[in-house]
Amino acid sequence: QSVLTQPPSVSAAPGQKVTISCSGSTSNIGNNYVSWYQQLPGTAPKLLIYENDKRPSGIPDRFSGSKSGTSATLGITGLQTGDEADYYCGTWDSGLSAGVFGGGTKLTVL
Amino acid sequence: QVQLVQSGAEVKKPGSSVTVSCKASGGTVSSYAISWVRQAPGQGLEWMGGIIPMFDTTHYAQNFGGRVTITADESTSTAYMELSSLRSEDTAMYYCARGFCSGTKCYRDTFDIWGQGTMVTVSS
């Protein structure tokens, strides 16, 4: 059971927009920054968003992040078949003094 | 560009220990936090622990019950993760990951460079 809660799957058509939620508590999301990762099949995760809403160099602006209270959201616009992957949120949990991840969300681009 | 190169796949017996290495190629580990993250087959990511070599500080996830030890050798820019008392549930891909830095700000819980992964299989 993951500390952060994500929907197991989401889907949308090419060109459309999708959002992925990540729910936590005051000990994690509520008081720490959230990051998001994309994991393509058979590869290591890739950092998409850090500090809730910032993109590292090289990440297209189709990817966006936001946070409100104890929840965070990843948005992806202009969906492409290449976006099919598992997406994970992550943060620090101050109560556990440990990094924590969501259970992951599988994105299907129909 | 820094790369994290991990040691090769391992097959271990239950009750034994495994050590996985993670060498920073083209850079150093001392100035960054290095974490270990594992992923069981078909499952999600699980943070195991991390080290900040420059400050010689470590943090571990509680659910490993003290079975994880993370160390770093700054002279060789290599981090190590030892997992003891292995059981079948420890069968997983193990990744090392570098803490992301943006300008002068560095994060211990945000990871921009990942190793290629090391598959550890625990089987009798």
Q: What are the tens digits of pLDDT across the range A43-63?
A: 999 999 999 999 999 999 999
- Please state, in angstroms and rounded to a whole number, the distance separating the CA atoms of residues A94 and A66: 20
Distance from CA of A47 to the nearest CA of B (A): 5
Subunit contact A90:B47, Cβ cutoff 8 A:
yes
Subunit contact B47:A99, Cβ cutoff 8 A:
yes
Instruction: Say whether pLDDT at A92 is over 80.
Output: yes
- In terms of Cα–Cα distance, which of B49, B53, B40, B39 is closest to B69? B49
Distance from CA of B94 to the nearest CA of A (A): 10
- Please state, in angstroms and rounded to a whole number, the distance separating the CA atoms of residues A36 and A88: 6
List CB contacts (< 8 A) between B45 and chain A.
37, 39, 45, 88, 90, 101, 104
CA-based nearest residue in chain B for residue A35 = B110
Q: How confident is the model at residue B32 (pLDDT cuts 50, 70, 90)?
A: confident
Instruction: Say whether pLDDT at A98 is over 90.
Output: yes
Predicted local confidence at residue A64, as pLDDT: 98
Q: Annotate chain A with three-state secondary structure.
A: CCCEECCCEEEECCCCCEEEEEECCCCCHHHCCCEEEEECCCCCCEEEEECCCECCCCCCCCEEEEEECCEEEEEECCCCHHHCEEEEEEEEECCCCEEEEECCEEEEEC
- Please state, in angstroms and rounded to a whole number, the distance separating the CA atoms of residues B22 and B19: 10
The mean pLDDT value for B19-42 works out to 91
Encoded tokens for B17: 């220990």
Q: Is A7's Cβ below 8 Å from some Cβ in B?
A: no
Predicted local confidence at residue B83, as pLDDT: 98
The mean pLDDT value for B86-102 works out to 95
Instruction: Say whether pLDDT at B29 is over 80.
Output: no
Subunit contact A51:B102, Cβ cutoff 8 A:
yes
Phi, then psi, of A10 in degrees rounded to 5: -140, 155
